[in-house]
Amino acid sequence: MNTVNKSTRFSPFQLHIGRSPRLIPPITPAGQQSGGVEAAKLIEQINMDVAEAKDNLMLAKIFQADQANRKRRPEDVYKVDDLVLLSTANRRKEYAATGSGRSAKFFPRRDGPYRVVEAFPQTLMYRLEVPNAPPNFCFTFHMSQLKRYVPNNQTLFPRREFPRDGPGAVEGV
């Protein structure tokens, strides 16, 4: 209770009681009272400390948001008929959990390309056209699960094209 919080710059004891606790007992005899503090001044001091702590918390929040957003990139906004790759993080877990001794280490990180059928950019949600999907498959995904599809340039990278047969293949891409 005596440790000063980095964000508020006050100890919880000081915000609650209005002063820091004494670490050494007072030197005056027990019968004598040292100069007391008036209640109104004490309450005013506590209110001032709490207001200053709130200001310090707001400054800390602004600083933390600035530090968090410093290396973030702006969100990709997809339109209808854009091609995207879909994260396979949830399917990797199922692939490794089947008990067949398979490792998900070499399972592709993203699958696709898939076409965007509906776009809800205000909520960062997108509905995809996923062929051969199981019946309980949800076709709506958050933007964090998607990545823009960039087709391979065969003249620059002739060996980089992978065969795409199966549920992730899109005709004419």
- Model confidence pLDDT, tens digit, residues 138-164: 888 888 889 999 888 888 877 776 655
pTM attached to this predicted model: 0.51
Class of domain 73-173: mainly beta
Confidence of residue 24 (pLDDT cuts 50, 70, 90): low
What strand order describes the sheet that includes 140-142? 140-142, 125-129, 110-120, 83-87, 146-148
Q: Hey, where are the domains in the chain?
A: 1-26+35-72, 73-173
* 8 Å CB contact between 115 and 127: no
Prior bond of 113 cis (ω within 30°): yes
Vertex 147 angle, CA 135 and 65, to 5°: 115
**Better-scored residue on pLDDT, 122 or 83:** 83
171 pLDDT above the threshold of 60: no
- Model confidence pLDDT, tens digit, residues 32-77: 555 555 778 878 888 888 899 899 999 999 999 999 888 887 778 8
- Model confidence pLDDT, tens digit, residues 107-123: 778 887 899 999 988 88
